[in-house]
Amino acid sequence: MTPARPITLGLTGSIGMGKSTVAAMFAEAGVPVFDADAAVHVLQGPGGRVVSAIEAAFPGATGPNGVDRAMLGARVLGDRAALARLEAIVHPAVGEERAAFLARHATAPIVLFDVPLLFETGGESRVDRVVVVSAPPAIQHARVLARPGMTPAKLDAILARQLPDAEKVARADYVVPTGGSLDATRRAVASIIACLEGRETPLS
């Protein structure tokens, strides 16, 4: 008999949709969460194991504190070839971190992978179910443009790399709305967990 393994959830959503807040709600409910962005920060930080490879591919983009993310971001923004070179370095390393996380939580009923570009990188094929976080465009834009250093041009460039929200929602197994109250969002998260545990049908 094949040993039981956790149900794997992929959590995604476009910038400004509240994905980090929803990931925290899953964690508060006891679901182990793998944060792909946090893994990248460690891999690219001081002593990180992809720093030397990134320096070789993008000379001058690293320093004593690891990768200069602002400089590297500026060099790949809008340059598909440069972005592909970077992803070829980072994605395999993140995959190894993901496998180690899954091994550590092999007995958990559910685990969640917080992956901003899940659909864009084909990551939906590596999880059992996909959860998309969504909010109305006006709320999304207001959230993002309130961030320090963010401009409409930068937001447009970021959104150009991401699938439209409507397409993500159409491809999701579950959708968590974040345009209302935190309590409503938390109820949607609890409903998904209950559904996966076989206790109820998820909230629509």
Does 198 appear as a known binding residue?
no
Helices 182-196 and 19-28, interaxial angle, to 10°?
60
Region of 203 (left: φ > 0; alpha: ψ -120 to 50; beta: rest) is beta
For 113, the enclosing helix (H) or strand (E) is strand 110-114
Does 154 appear as a known binding residue?
no
Does 18 appear as a known binding residue?
yes
Cα–Cα distances in angstroms (integers) from residue 153 to residues 16, 52, 166, 174, in the given order: 15, 31, 21, 31
Coil/strand/helix, residue 97: helix
Does 150 appear as a known binding residue?
no
Residues annotated within the binding site are 16-21
Binding residue positions for ATP: 16-21
